[in-house]
Structure 1
Amino acid sequence: MLPLFHDFEGRSVVIVGGGRVALRKARTFATEADVTVVADAFVDGLDEVDCERRRRRLEPDEADELLASVEGDLFLVIPATDDRTLNDAIARAGRKAGALVNRVDERGDTVTPARAESGPLTVAISTGGKSPAVARHLRREIEPLLDRTEPMVGLQADLRDRLDDDPDLSAKQRRQALRRIIDDDGVWRALEDGRYDDARGRALEAAEIASTE
């Protein structure tokens, strides 16, 4: 499998199952997608997720009818029950409807990775379903690094705009200038201390950009 970030805005996601796994999936996708969760019972916490909850006991031969009833652009179907026969039927119906399938009991079309986030930074971690515990461990290890790195992202965006406005610099020179900023320990120290103006000034020097401010 290849990693791919996808925009779920305006997409529909159907989750069949109301347990802890379904809750975790709903929390993940409801941040962007229109999520529908179908189950005969819902675990505590699903009522706090921004999603449509349909309380019903779904039979395997009803999977096609269920997916046909979902409004919007059906993009992802998640069979998350403890009934393998039902999960198989939901997966078949999802593919028949042209949607991707994210199974929780075996490898499907997609894998939902563990994510570490800080501002605009996102790192996705997957073990191919072999060890979710390892993925969660790595996420916890990576999160502090992302928190430290986030201010550099803002500084790089700021100075990249400035470099892009300089007609005398080639694309290679712009890349080299931004690399010098990342490699400068003084810039990192200033950012870690919350001294953004000092970090920016040091970055301008490191990038060999003449300051006119």
Structure 2
Amino acid sequence: MRYYPTFLDMRGKRCLIVGIGDVGRRKLTSLLAANPEEVLVLDTFLFVEIADPELKELLSHPAVTYQHRPFVSSDVQGRALVFACTGSRTVNETVARACDKRTVLCNVIDAPDEGDFIVPAHFDAGELIVAISTGGNSPALARRIRMELQEFVGNRFSRLVTLMGRLRPLVLARGAETGHNTKLFRNIVGSDLMDALQDRDRGRSETILTELLPQELHPHIGELLHELV
């Protein structure tokens, strides 16, 4: 199967995780990092006290609503994403059917084909997120590729990503033609600026930006480099 790659803005979104075992915990941790409005977590194993202090802390997050009870189909109403993470094939299938009926995106941990999306192997390096998928053919291979890429990437792009995030709105505010902006951005990322930032070489970084940026953006070079070099 070939999936459509995308990154989702979860701000203001409501989500659901059914099952809070090891897999559910990982899903909740990564989901909370995206700042959703609310995550309803259903623990379908009734009356089981949670002893793990780290899990207790995770479930006490302000965006988390934690409930001990069975899943009901109406739980998926109004949810942007749903994760079926229980150890029960029957429960996970029920969750998937409820989502399909209401056109809600669902991830089914033990039967990916029953759901609408998978969560790729990924890693963060500052504001950079790298995701890898084998189309569900081999999560183990995706994990290996992730580990090798993570070792290669390290934090070498982190400062450049931050700077580009500061620069982009300044460039777009100029109202220049899209092709001109594209060329400017490509010239910057293709320059030696990344190495200069990595070396914390302020003089070299300023020289590169002065040469590449339009004259009217030169006064912003100080704020672009703030705390990066």
With normalisation by structure 1, the TM-score equals: 0.78
Any stretches of 5+ residues in structure 1 without a counterpart?
Answer: none
Pick aligned residue for 1:150 from 139, 158, 171: 158
* Residue correspondence of structure 1 range 163-174 to structure 2 within 5 A: 171-174=178-181
Q: Write the distance in 1 (CA, Å) between the matches of 2:184 and 2:23.
A: 46
Q: Write the distance in 1 (CA, Å) between the matches of 2:66 and 2:213.
A: 57
1:125 aligns with 2:126: no
The question of whether the paired residues in 2 share the 8 Å contact of 1:75 and 1:98 is answered with: no
Alignment match, 1:85: 90
Any stretches of 5+ residues in structure 2 without a counterpart?
Answer: 220-229
Aligned-residue identity in percent: 31
Secondary structure at the counterpart of residue 198 of structure 1: helix
Letter in 2 for 1:105: D
Pick aligned residue for 1:48 from 17, 36, 57: 57
Secondary structure at the counterpart of residue 74 of structure 1: coil
Pick aligned residue for 2:108 from 103, 111, 114: 103
**CA RMSD, 1 decimal:** 2.9
Q: For residues 177-204 of structure 1, what are the alpha-carbon distances to aligned partners after superposition, in whole Å with 9 as ceiling and x for unaligned?
A: 433333333x333211112442132233
Q: Write the distance in 2 (CA, Å) between the matches of 1:98 and 1:142.
A: 35
Pick aligned residue for 1:198 from 204, 207, 212: 204
The question of whether the paired residues in 2 share the 8 Å contact of 1:116 and 1:122 is answered with: yes
Letter in 1 for 2:188: I
- CA pair 36-99 structure 1, distance change in 2 beyond 3 A: same
Q: Write the distance in 2 (CA, Å) between the matches of 1:30 and 1:113.
A: 16
With normalisation by structure 2, the TM-score equals: 0.73
1:26 aligns with 2:28: yes
Alignment match, 2:15: 13
Alignment match, 2:185: 178
- CA pair 142-38 structure 1, distance change in 2 beyond 3 A: same
Q: Write the distance in 1 (CA, Å) between the matches of 2:128 and 2:103.
A: 31
Secondary structure at the counterpart of residue 25 of structure 1: helix
